[in-house]
Amino acid sequence: MHPAPELPLPDSSLQPSKIQIKGIKEGLLVLLGEGEWSEIRQALLEQLDRQGEFLRGARLALDVGDAILKAVDLGSLRDGLSERGLYLWAVLSNSPTTEQTAQMLGLETRLTKPRYASMDEYAHGGLHGVEEAVMVARTLRSGASVQYPGHVVVIGDVNPGAEIIAGGNVVVWGRLRGLVHAGANGDEGAVVCALDLRPTQLRISDQIALSPKRKGKPQPEIASLRNGAVVAEPWKP
Amino acid sequence: MPAKVVTITSGKGGVGKTTATANIGAALAQNDLKVVCLDADIGLRNLDVVLGLENRIVYDLVDVVEGRCRLKQALIRDKRLPELFLIPAAQKRDKSAVSPSDMVRLCNELREEFDWIIIDSPAGIERGFRNAIAPTDIVVVITNPEVSAVRDADRIIGLVESEEKGPARLIINRIKPSMVRKGDMLSPEDVLELLAVELIGLVPEDEGVVTSTNRGMPVVMDGRSRAGQAFRNIAQRLMGAEVPFLDLEEGGGLLGRLARRIRQGGD
């Protein structure tokens, strides 16, 4: 899976115990330096206290670098943050142990886009019959990824190297050249349609198909599962 | 007038970022604009070689950032084009020696002195790329008419948009019209259909570029080179002029080709 384009890169040149707070689409991203966890934690809380009311109510993602953290460390930090009116929703880490800890506490371990899906919907899994859709009114370029438990509608192109993973149907008002997965939660009735359907790879439920080589004028097509195989048909108005 | 900052970037390596930086910089300087080319490819510096200024380096970008010299001391003036300057990259350090905010500060200082600042970005999408686009006003993405370069250009354009430095502009470099005609190479139309950004240059494949790079003499200084003409046109477009794109088709049939062969042979 490609990282979201706005994912900040881990910064290897951080000074010890230097804390950076950045604004990102999903709220605030806090980059912690290296050092003793208790000191870092203290420094972070002090810095947040200095910012005072300004940050109150913010959604916070924490990049802890290489630090190996146990449930008690993260749990107490989360409490400390919530006392200050801050909501910790994600912990990014280079350590698998810390990632596991974070997941145990119900925290995200990557910056997905709440714009496309609320965390609750993900947690509840299968979304059969859900009629919710997300509208993406721009071209998805290589490296972009949209994941949504409901339907996905794109007005624009989906370029090679971009991907759409939807629980429901995928509709592309444009050229579909990237990877698309409809019915990703197992819905075999999901369909993919596009004005120009030439994905790198098309998946519906657990079936995978490649686009055949095609010449001539593009035409709108709908792909669906028929007898367990992906079939694409021209769309006739 | 404070300078405009242009960053030349591509994602993929070897598509012509450094050549484009040197030539666009030189072409702007030929129009009596004061230009500084800034090599942001720390650790793999090249721009000094392409500009033929390698032997004049005393201080570099990292020396300026780390305060070992004043900015003026790192500026190398090109004697052939008195309006053209270079700040070379450091060769013994890596990308982490400079931060995006260092680049912003440096360019703010340069803006007062120059009309144009052209930054040569390293390949890739990591720290070096972030450094190169941090201070920029205009991002120019350069690509070749081949699938892998176009794919990377697409990714870069997306990143530029998400950093709110867009919309990026596009140069397609090293086009071979004969291969395009046979359907063996992506046409400029194919590339534009995918990337959907403003095109500011079509540069034909030209052996003169290799010669000029080896000699340290930007190809825009050669009045007869077609690639040189293409880069001069790009400079004009950056300056806001409307210039028609070069007709890449190599001349009108047999007679045109013959005429050109005779002209080239006569040099």
Residue A100: in which H helix or E strand, if any? helix A96-104
How far is A197 from A192, CA to CA, in rounded Å? 9
Q: Is the peptide bond before B218 cis (omega within 30 degrees of 0)?
A: no
Q: Which of A13, A141, A157 sits opposite B157 (nearest CB)?
A: A141
Q: How many Cβ contacts (< 8 angstroms) between chains A and B? A: 37
Token pair recorded at residue B187: 């046409």
Q: Which of A5, A13, A177 sits opposite B158 (nearest CB)?
A: A5
In a domain, A187, yes or no: yes
**Which of A11, A15, A141, A195 to mutate against chain B (most B CBs within 10 Å)?**
A141
**Distances from the Cα of B165 to the Cαs of A161, B111, B160, B169, in angstroms?**
21, 18, 5, 11
Residue B255 zone, left/alpha/beta (φ > 0; ψ -120 to 50; rest): alpha
Q: Which of A6, A9, A159 sits opposite B154 (nearest CB)?
A: A159
Q: What is the pLDDT of residue B143?
A: 98
A98-135 as b/e: b if 16+ CB within 10 A: bbebbeeeebbbebbeeebbeeebeeeeebeebeeebe
B113 vs A20, more confident: B113
How far is B14 from A232, CA to CA, in rounded Å? 39
Residue A16 has pLDDT above 60, yes or no: no
DSSP A119-176: HHHHHT---TT---EEEE-SPBPTT-EEEESSEEEEES-B-TT-EEEESS-EEEEEEE
Same domain, A98 and A200: no
What is the arithmetic mean of pLDDT over A187-216?
91
Same domain, A99 and A197: no
Residue A30 has pLDDT above 90, yes or no: no
Same domain, A152 and A71: no
SS in 3 state form for chain B? Answer: CCCEEEEEECCCCCCCHHHHHHHHHHHHHHCCCCEEEEECCCCCCCHHHHCCCHHHCCCCHHHHHCCCCCHHHHCEECCCCCCEEEECCCCCCCHHHCCHHHHHHHHHHHHCCCCEEEEECCCCCCHHHHHHHCCCCEEEEEECCCHHHHHHHHHHHHHHHHCCCCCCEEEEEEECHHHHHCCCCCCHHHHHHHHCCEEEEEEECCHHHHHHHHHCCCHHHCCCCHHHHHHHHHHHHHCCCCCCCCCCCCCCHHHHHHHHHHHHHCC
Express each pLDDT in B174-221 by its tens digit. 999 999 999 999 999 999 999 999 999 999 999 999 999 999 999 999
Q: What is the CATH number of the domain that holds B17?
A: 3.40.50.300
How far is A171 from A153, CA to CA, in rounded Å? 5
Q: What is the pLDDT of residue A98?
A: 84
How far is A140 from B142, CA to CA, in rounded Å? 20
Domain boundary among A104, A129, A160: A104
Q: Which residue range(s) make up the domain with A147?
A: 119-234
Report the Cα B123 to chain-centroid distance in Å: 13
Q: What is the pLDDT of residue A122?
A: 42
Confidence band, pLDDT 50/70/90 cuts, at residue A119 = very low
Asked if A12's CB is within 8 angstroms of B96's CB, the reply is yes
Express each pLDDT in A135-147 by its tens digit. 999 999 999 999 9
Q: What is the pLDDT of residue B112?
A: 94
Q: Which residue range(s) make up the domain with B129?
A: 4-265
In a domain, A1, yes or no: no
Q: What is the pLDDT of residue B84?
A: 97
Smallest CA–CA distance, residue A50 to chain B, in Å, is 24
Residue B124 has pLDDT above 70, yes or no: yes
Instruction: Name residues whose C-beta falls within 8 Å of residue A218's C-beta, 6 or more positions apart in sequence.
Output: A175, A195, A196, A197, A198
How far is B22 from B41, CA to CA, in rounded Å? 14
In a domain, A193, yes or no: yes
Residue of B nearest to A140 (CA): B158
Evaluate whether A232 touches A196 at the Cβ level (below 8 Å).
Answer: no
Residue A36 has pLDDT above 90, yes or no: no
Q: Which residues of A touch B141 (CB under 8 A)?
A: none
Confidence band, pLDDT 50/70/90 cuts, at residue B261 = low
Q: What is the pLDDT of residue A128?
A: 47
Which amino acid does the sequence have at A4?
A
How far is A150 from A210, CA to CA, in rounded Å? 23
Q: What is the pLDDT of residue B5?
A: 98
In a domain, A7, yes or no: no
Phi/psi of residue B179, each to 5°?
-70, -35
B96 touches chain A (CB under 8 A): yes
Express each pLDDT in A183-197 by its tens digit. 998 999 999 999 999
Same domain, A97 and A142: no
Q: Which residues of B touch A161 (CB under 8 A)?
A: 151, 154-155
Which of A25-29, A88-92, B71-75, B145-149 shows the lowest mean pLDDT across its residues? A25-29
Q: What is the CATH number of the domain that holds A227?
A: 2.160.20.70
Asked if A12's CB is within 8 angstroms of B157's CB, the reply is no
Residue A117 has pLDDT above 80, yes or no: no
Asked if A6's CB is within 8 angstroms of B155's CB, the reply is no
Residue A100 has pLDDT above 90, yes or no: no
Express each pLDDT in B31-87 by its tens digit. 999 999 999 999 999 999 999 999 999 999 999 999 999 999 999 999 999 999 999
How far is B17 from A180, CA to CA, in rounded Å? 33
Residue A12 has pLDDT above 70, yes or no: no
Smallest CA–CA distance, residue A2 to chain B, in Å, is 11
Q: Which residues of A touch B158 (CB under 8 A)?
A: 5, 141-144
Q: What is the pLDDT of residue A4?
A: 47
Q: What is the pLDDT of residue B267?
A: 41
Residue of A nearest to B149 (CA): A142
Domain boundary among A104, A131, A158: A104
A210 vs A120, more confident: A210
How far is A92 from B130, CA to CA, in rounded Å? 21
Residue A129 has pLDDT above 70, yes or no: no
- Using an 8 Å CB-CB cutoff, list residues of chain A that contact chain B: 5-6, 9, 12-13, 139, 141-144, 157, 159-161, 175, 177
* Mean per-residue pLDDT of chain B: 92
How far is A45 from A38, CA to CA, in rounded Å? 11
In a domain, A8, yes or no: no
* Mean per-residue pLDDT of chain A: 81
Which of A162-166, B4-8, B50-54, B263-267 shows the lowest mean pLDDT across its residues? B263-267
For residue B77, count other CB atoms closer than 10 A to its CB.
14
Helices B226-238 + B17-30 axis angle, to 10:
70
In a domain, A32, yes or no: yes
Confidence band, pLDDT 50/70/90 cuts, at residue B258 = low
The closest of B149, B106, B147, B96 to B126, measured between CA atoms, is B96
Q: Which residues of B touch A141 (CB under 8 A)?
A: 154-155, 157-158, 161
Same domain, A219 and A133: yes
In a domain, A60, yes or no: yes
Q: What is the pLDDT of residue B263?
A: 55
Same domain, A124 and A221: yes
Confidence band, pLDDT 50/70/90 cuts, at residue A73 = confident
Residue B241 has pLDDT above 80, yes or no: yes
Question: Could you give the percent of chain B with pLDDT greater than 90?
Answer: 87
Q: What is the CATH number of the domain that holds A56?
A: 3.30.750.50
B167 touches chain A (CB under 8 A): no
How far is A204 from A220, CA to CA, in rounded Å? 18
Which of A14-18, A121-125, A179-183, A188-192 shows the lowest mean pLDDT across its residues? A121-125
Same domain, A93 and A157: no
Token pair recorded at residue A70: 């146990």
How far is A234 from A230, CA to CA, in rounded Å? 14
How far is B67 from B71, CA to CA, in rounded Å? 9
Helix (H, G, I), strand (E, B) or coil at A68: coil
How far is A93 from B108, CA to CA, in rounded Å? 35
Q: What is the largest CA-CA distance in chain B?
A: 60
Express each pLDDT in A148-159 by its tens digit. 999 999 999 999
Same domain, A50 and A88: yes
Q: Which residues of A touch B157 (CB under 8 A)?
A: 141
How many domains does the structure of chain A reveal? 2
B238 vs A132, more confident: B238
How many domains does the structure of chain B reveal? 1
What is the arithmetic mean of pLDDT over A21-33?
82
Q: What is the ipTM of this complex?
A: 0.78
